[in-house]
């Protein structure tokens, strides 16, 4: 058996919510976790931006390219990648994220900084997208996932600030992995805010409040 791969064109889906405030706008681009969709991530960042007390954020929720049905239900969810052809999937996802941010910036005339946010599997995407961002980066909001291993200090230097977060009872993102990621970002001269809260592998109201504070500092 000989295995081959071939490039294929696919279409990605993302949701946008424009603010009512006058320009200039900032962009908050967000990536969901495994077996989730863009709607749930849009709801999360909407709450976060509202808590930040500013209406000047263009919200962009990006859905993973690999869609599937969740269990026997008809809910369509998505993932970002598996271990199969991982490097190719990373390259595809980075190009996809760049296209989404660039297109949203053109359509809504956003020239200010972009903050990238991710939950669980979407954390790696947030960091990869930030390091390859077509617009200046304001920071990264990360919950329940790790910094991708392939990003070296030089790549991470593109990120001026990061909110690294985990629930204290989260078994998927361990305290050791959390501390290692915080140290990696500090080595890359990123201003890291570590935040741990009572909870598990979940986006809680306590985290939304912390993320809102981070957004206020990124403006």
91-133 pLDDT per residue, tens: 999 999 999 999 999 999 998 899 999 999 999 999 999 999 9
Q: Of 159, 5, 168, give the one whose Cα is nearest residue 86.
A: 5
**What's the mean pLDDT in 23-46?**
96
pTM: 0.96
Sign of torsion over alpha carbons 148, 150, 153, 159: negative
pLDDT of residue 72: 74
Residues 16 and 60: beta-carbon distance below 8 Å: yes
**Residue whose pair of structure tokens reads 């058996």 in the numeric block:** 1
**pLDDT 10s digits, 123-152:** 999 999 999 999 999 999 999 999 999 999
- Virtual torsion, Cα 85, 90, 91, 95, nearest 10 deg: 140
Structure-block tokens of residue 177: 């992995």
Sign of torsion over alpha carbons 103, 109, 114, 118: negative
Q: How many residues belong to the chain?
A: 219
The burial of 205, by beta-carbon neighbours within 10 Å (0-12 exposed, 13-18 middle, 19 or more buried), is given as exposed
Residues 193 and 30: beta-carbon distance below 8 Å: no
Q: What is the mean pLDDT of the chain?
A: 95
Residues 6+ apart with CB under 8 A from 69: 75, 76, 77
Residues 79 and 66: beta-carbon distance below 8 Å: yes
Q: Which comes out higher in pLDDT, residue 58 or 54?
A: 58
Q: Cβ–Cβ contacts within 10 Å for residue 117, how many?
A: 32
**pLDDT 10s digits, 172-203:** 999 999 999 999 999 999 999 999 999 999 99
| Strand, coil or helix: 119 | strand
Split at pLDDT 50, 70, 90, the class of 3 is very high
Query: What is d(CA 164, CA 162) in angstroms, rounded to the nearest whole number?
Result: 6
pLDDT of residue 126: 98
| Ramachandran quadrant class, 109 (left: phi over 0; alpha: psi -120 to 50; beta: rest) | left
Residues 49 and 215: beta-carbon distance below 8 Å: yes
Split at pLDDT 50, 70, 90, the class of 55 is confident
Element (H, E) at 197: strand 191-197
Q: Which residue ranges make up each domain of the chain?
A: 14-218
| Strand, coil or helix: 6 | coil
Split at pLDDT 50, 70, 90, the class of 22 is confident
CATH number of 14-218: 3.40.50.1820
Instruction: State how beta strands 14-17 and 57-62 pair.
Output: antiparallel
């Amino acid at each position: 058996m000989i295995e081959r791969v071939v490039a294929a064109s696919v279409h990605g889906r993302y949701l946008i919510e424009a603010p009512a405030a006058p320009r200039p706008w900032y962009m908050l681009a967000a990536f969901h976790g495994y077996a989730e969709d863009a709607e749930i991530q849009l709801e999360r960042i909407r709450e976060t931006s509202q808590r930040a007390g500013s209406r000047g954020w263009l919200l962009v929720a990006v859905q993973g390219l690999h869609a599937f049905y969740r269990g026997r239900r008809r809910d369509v969810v998505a993932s970002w990648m598996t271990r199969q052809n991982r490097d190719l999937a990373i390259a595809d996802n980075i190009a996809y994220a760049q296209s989404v941010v660039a297109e949203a910036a053109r359509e809504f005339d956003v020239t200010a900084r972009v903050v990238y946010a991710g939950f669980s599997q979407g954390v790696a995407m947030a960091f990869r997208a930030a390091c390859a961002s077509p617009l200046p980066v304001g920071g990264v909001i990360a919950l329940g996932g790790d910094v991708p291993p392939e990003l070296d200090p030089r790549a991470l230097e593109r990120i001026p600030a990061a909110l690294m977060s985990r629930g204290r009872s989260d078994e998927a993102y361990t305290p050791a992995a959390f501390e290692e990621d915080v140290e990696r970002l500090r080595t890359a001269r990123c201003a890291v805010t570590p935040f741990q809260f009572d909870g598990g592998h979940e986006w809680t109201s306590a985290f939304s409040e912390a993320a809102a504070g981070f957004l206020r500092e990124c403006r």
